Amino acid sequence: MEFKLSGQHQMMQKLFREFCQKEIAPYAAENDVKAVFPTEIIRKLGAQGFMGIPIPAEYGGAGADFLTYILCVEEVSRACASTGVILAVHTSVGTFPILNFGTAEQKQKYVPKLAAGEYVGAFALTEPDAGSDASALRTLAKKDGDDYVLNGTKIFISNGGHAQVYTVFATVDRALGAKGITAFLVEKDTPGFRVGAIEKKMGLNADVTTELIFEDCRIPASQRLGKEGEGFKIAMSLLDGGRIGIGAQGLGIAQAAFDEALKYAQSREQFNQPIFNFQAIAFKLAEMATQIAAARLLVYQAAFRKENGLPNGKQASMAKMFATDTAMAAATEAVQILGGYGYSREYPVERLMRDAKITQIYEGTNQIQRLVIAKALEKGL
Ligand SMILES: Cc1cc2nc3c(=O)[nH]c(=O)nc-3n(C[C@H](O)[C@H](O)[C@H](O)COP(=O)(O)OP(=O)(O)OC[C@H]3O[C@@H](n4cnc5c(N)ncnc54)[C@H](O)[C@@H]3O)c2cc1C
């Protein structure tokens, strides 16, 4: 049993870290305040090949393994959590649906552009009345000759308005529940499809999150992903991989919070000594470091299992839940360690605390992760 990354993984981790600290971290605070999508940074990620890390070379990707991709999400999120989720959504639930479930034509049409970062991907499942219970979605896809006509509204869609292709889940028959859900690939400029309101959020401001509105939006059957009624299965299988990505995002946020807190505790003096000398502060850092180390093992283990075709649903949920709870705890403690400065925008920890919160909510809330883990335990998995 090996408890260290391979030489190749270590080399890639170093490369990601150097790139992200130089090209992404300096802009994170400004992009948060201005709430702007980091188009130029995404272009640079594309130029480096980071938008297609786990995509096979035949589709223009880097052909690297899933763990390499996870290391990238971690480092990008450590520099800027918003950019981290743009990358994670684009890859895990924006590109993989087409790669895993698309026809040869769909793959040729979209995957090379997505892998190059020329296109950004998005995943549209959530609706105003269908969040954790995604099977309750109402967006209707009515068959009309060789087309489907979509009507409905999606909310909270990451990369909304900035993605060129959206994997959209709609039902062909509301009476069928999950069995009616079908996936479609919808391009940005399709008539009848428009981006609605931009969500005003607590954090993660540089990842624009929007409504998507479908009004008599005609989609040719050639844009259906998988068979009719397979959509729910497709969505759930994608979320397993997606959750490992969000675990990596949590890990990156937690590490950034810890780095800031340690640096501050060693340099800030009160009562004529560094505050690190106070056991109350040092113990917080000891706990943060321990939780981050445990989260890292869970996230990397889940990635390893996915890459090697081992069952990974339970492990993905454990990794997502633990790493994102760790992100929230570490960011909150970092604010406490920095005292009043922690609450100020002068330091990044208040942003990290706001950004950390969402990781416990999306890609399945952490209550839903506990549900998934409990179901796996019940089945003896
Ligand atoms: C910034 C952001 C980005 C997002 N990006 C996307 C995206 O790109 N694509 C997309 O499709 N969606 C996206 N979402 C939606 C996100 O996945 C949902 O918000 C999330 O799944 C929760 O759904 P909900 O908000 O409707 O909460 P609800 O499902 O209404 O849950 C409310 C509360 O009840 C709890 N709860 C619900 N059911 C149970 C249960 N069975 N047992 C115990 N507790 C339960 C939840 O844990 C939560 O605490 C995004 C959301 C945000 C805020």
Are both 341 and 250 inside the same structural domain? Answer: yes
Can you say how many angstroms the Cα of residue 355 is from the centroid of all Cα atoms in its chain? 12
User: Of these residues, 211, 230, 363, 378, which one is catalytic?
Assistant: 363
Per-residue model confidence (pLDDT) at position 229 = 98
Which residues in the chain belong to E strands, given as ranges? Answer: 121-124, 140-144, 147-158, 165-171, 181-187, 193-198, 209-220, 224-225, 269-270, 273-274
Boundary-marking domain end, from 55, 87, 119: 119
DSSP letters for 13-65: HHHHHHHHHHHTHHHHHHHHHHT---HHHHHHHHHHTGGGTTS-GGGTS----
Q: Which two tokens stand for residue 32?
A: 């948060």
Together in a domain, 245 and 199: no
Answer yes or no: is the C-beta of 131 below 6 A from any ligand 1 atom. Answer: yes
254, 364: one domain: yes
Categorize the per-residue pLDDT at 1 as very low, low, confident or very high, splitting at 50, 70 and 90.
confident
Determine the Cα–Cα distance for residues 353 and 254; give it in Å rounded to an integer. Answer: 9
Chain-centre distance of CA 8, in angstroms? 24
Taking residues 57-79, what's their average pLDDT? 98
**Is the pLDDT reported for residue 240 higher than 90?**
no
Beta carbons of 180 and 172 less than 8 angstroms apart: yes
pTM above 0.95, yes or no: yes
Give the per-residue pLDDT at 115: 98
Report the pLDDT averaged over residues 282-309: 97
Judged on CB neighbours under 10 Å (0-12, 13-18, 19+), 150 is buried
DSSP state at residue 164: S
Q: Hey, what are 49's tokens? A: 């090949």
Choose one of 85, 101, 119: the last residue of a domain: 119
Are 236 and 225 within one domain? no
Answer whether 16 contacts ligand 1 (Cβ < 6 A).
Answer: no
- Is 363 among the residues known to form the active site? yes
Question: Of 204, 229, 254, which marks where a domain is finished?
Answer: 229
Task: Look over the chain and give the mean of its residue pLDDT values, rounded to a whole number.
Answer: 97
Whether 209 lines ligand 1, by a CB cut-off of 6 Å, is: yes
CA-based torsion, 42, 47, 48, 49: positive or negative: positive
String of b and e for 244-261 (b: at least 16 CB within 10 Å)? bbbbbbbbbbbbbbbebb
Residue 204 is assigned to a structural domain of this protein: yes
pLDDT at residue 2, rounded to an integer = 81
Residues 244, 366 share a domain: yes
Asked whether the predicted pLDDT for residue 3 surpasses 90, the reply is no
Same domain, 115 and 144: no
pLDDT in tens, 324-337: 999 999 999 999 99
Is the CB–ligand 1 distance for residue 354 below 6 Å? no
**Domain check: are 237 and 127 in the same one?**
no
Residue 138, domain extent: 122-229
Q: Would 345 be classed as within a structural domain?
A: yes
Does position 285 have pLDDT exceeding 90, yes or no? yes
Confidence of residue 344 (pLDDT cuts 50, 70, 90): very high
pLDDT beyond 90 at 349 = yes
* pLDDT at residue 195, rounded to an integer: 98
Question: Are residues 367 and 244 both part of a single domain?
Answer: yes
- The tens digit of pLDDT for each residue in 168-193 reads 999 999 999 999 999 999 999 999 99
> In which band, very low, low, confident or very high, does the pLDDT at 205 lie, cut at 50, 70 and 90?
very high
Q: What pLDDT is attached to residue 144?
A: 97
Whole-angstrom Cα distance, residue 15 to residue 245?
19
Q: Which residue has the higher pLDDT, 364 or 2?
A: 364
Are residues 236 and 219 located together in one domain of the fold? no
Please tell me the distance from the alpha carbon of residue 351 to that of residue 349, in angstroms, as a whole number: 5
- Ramachandran area for residue 169 (φ above 0: left; ψ -120 to 50: alpha; else beta): beta
For residues 291 and 326, the answer to whether their CB atoms sit within 8 Å is yes
- CA-124 nearest atom, ligand 1: 11
| pLDDT on residue 150 | 98
Q: Ligand 1, closest atom to CA 207?
A: 1
DSSP state at residue 221: G
pLDDT at 131 > cutoff 90: yes
In the 8-state DSSP scheme, what is residue 94? Answer: I
How many distinct structural domains can be found in the chain?
A: 3
Phi–psi pair at 108, nearest 5 degrees: -65, -35
Question: Is the pLDDT at 29 greater than 90, yes or no?
Answer: yes
- Pocket test of ligand 1: the residue of 362, 363, 370 to mutate, having most ligand atoms within 8 Å of its CB, is 362
Is 1 inside a domain boundary? no
Residue 161 confidence (pLDDT) above 90: yes
